[in-house]
Every structure is written in structure tokens, then in C-alpha cells.
Structure 1
Amino acid sequence: MELKYQNQLEQIENCPVENLKGEKILFRCVENPMTENSFIPNAVLLKPKFNDNCLAWGLSLFSNYDSAKQMLNNLSKNKQMNYSNIAKSNLTDLDGIKHTSKNKNHFTFYPEKNTDILSKFALVNEK
């Protein structure tokens, strides 16, 4: 499987790390309206600061709506103006690599090169 940003990932030892197998519903803070810009990893947004950080090349996702909402509420006021919605997706092994961190509510997702990430996510209207 070739991942988006494959060339950069290959420059980092053991990147990406293990892959959680199976389908998983995950949530992400996104822009309003949701665009491709909602799915740019920190390594691209903040380069060159995170070029050597494997996790920064993935997308930060959450295992439940409440965890994503908490992250949204913890963003700076400036970022909250841009990232004001939460989207969810049922990601499969074909979509990319899902890595879970020590915090079991947080995942890093490395999309497969040809995954249409925008079509994989839908806005959530909860609470």
C-alpha cells in the first residue's frame, strides 16, 4: 500500500508505526465548510518544524465524538474560527494505516495515496 506523503514517511525510521486492523469509526475536527484543507497534516502545515516527526505526517482522529469535541474546545479561539465542525468516517484497511496512541481515544491516520479523503468523511450534527 502506498500512502500519501510516502516519500517523506520513508525518510523516518519505523514510520508509520503499527497498523490497527479492521474497520473503525473515527472523528476529526474540520473546517466549516469541510474542504481538503481540513485534512492536511501538521508536518505540511508547520514545515519544516515537524519534518522528522512521523506522527505529524498523519491525521489526528478520535475514537468518539466527545473526544473530538473536547479537542475542538481546547483549540485557540483563532483555530476554533476555522475548525468549528466535527466529521466522522468508517475507515477500513484499504483507506490507509490507523495507529492508536497511548491515549486510546486518539488515533493517527495515514491515508492511502488514492483515498478520496473528503468523500470518506461526513459532518456530524450531535449535541
Structure 2
Amino acid sequence: MGLYYQKNIDKVENCPLSNHEGDLVLFRLIKSSSMEHDDLLPKSANPRYKATQHECESWGLSTYDNLKSAVSNFLLMPEKLRSRFSHVAKVNVTSDFGIKYKTLDDKSHFTLFPMEDDKILDKFTVVEKLP
């Protein structure tokens, strides 16, 4: 079993970067009060973002290592982007879940590349409604 979007990821040099060791709890902004497959689509899976398909991070999922950072980053988004999200979900990421590493200048931001898993939605828990 490989990563979700493995064929696309393989086209990007040095992607994904090295894995952050250890288990983590990560938080992801989602679209509704329950996890859906759309909540696990990376940016480059959307045809509108075809220009980003050469960027490694655009094939991963944007996550945060604490709830406060997830909400704070949501509040910093332009209103149009904020309107896409309504809740925050958390997931316990173990070594067999996939690859994760810190990205951007935000020390709490991680890009997550999950392994293909039929039960991946069950691993996420919705924890908070966004303001």
C-alpha cells in the first residue's frame, strides 16, 4: 500500500521530504460537522490548482499540531477561503499512518501524506466548530 496520490507525488522531485519521527496528534480544517472524503483532498487534486501540481506540499494535507493554531490560522485566512471550512477534526498520527513533516514558517504547521486506507475517515474525530 502506498500514499494517497502516490503516482502524482512520484512526479515531484524529493517528495515527500523526510518523515517527522514519533506519534503526533494533528488537526485539520474541514468543511462540515462530519468527515467526508472531500476533506482529505489535497490542493493539487482540484483541477483549479493545476499550476501547483509540481509542488510537493500541494499533494499533502495541511494540518496543525494543536487546536489553537488551527483556529488561529483559520481566522487569518481571507473571508472567501474561511467560508470553505466549518469545523476542526483531529487525528492521531502514528508511524504507520503516513509521512508528516513541518512546513512553512509556522512551527505548528505539518504537511501530512497519509497511506491509502479504506477506514481513514474513521480515524478523524471532529472536535470543534469554527467561529
- TM-score, with length taken from structure 2: 0.87
What is the SS of the residue equivalent to 1:104?
coil
**Alpha carbons 1:28, 1:88 under 8 Å: kept:** yes
For residues 126 and 30 of structure 1, the distance between their equivalents in structure 2, rounded to whole angstroms, comes to 10
Asked if residue 119 in structure 1 is aligned to residue 122 in structure 2, the reply is yes
**Alpha carbons 1:58, 1:110 under 8 Å: kept:** yes
For residues 29 and 64 of structure 1, the distance between their equivalents in structure 2, rounded to whole angstroms, comes to 12
**Alpha carbons 1:29, 1:84 under 8 Å: kept:** yes
Displacement of 1:26 after TM fit?
Answer: 0.6
For 1:40-59, what aligned pairs fall within 5 Å after superposition? 40-45=41-46, 46-59=48-61
- TM-score, with length taken from structure 1: 0.89
Partner of 1:110: 113
Asked if residue 12 in structure 1 is aligned to residue 15 in structure 2, the reply is no
Displacement of 1:115 after TM fit?
Answer: 5.6
Partner of 1:62: 64
For residues 63 and 47 of structure 1, the distance between their equivalents in structure 2, rounded to whole angstroms, comes to 25
Q: Which moved more, 1:105-114 or 1:37-46?
A: 37-46
Asked if residue 93 in structure 1 is aligned to residue 95 in structure 2, the reply is yes
Q: Which runs of 5+ in 1 are unaligned?
A: none
Which of 68, 77, 80 matches 1:78?
A: 80
Partner of 2:29: 29
Displacement of 1:126 after TM fit?
Answer: 7.8
Q: Which runs of 5+ in 2 are unaligned?
A: none
Structure 1 pair 47–78 and aligned structure 2 pair: CA distance change class (3 A): closer
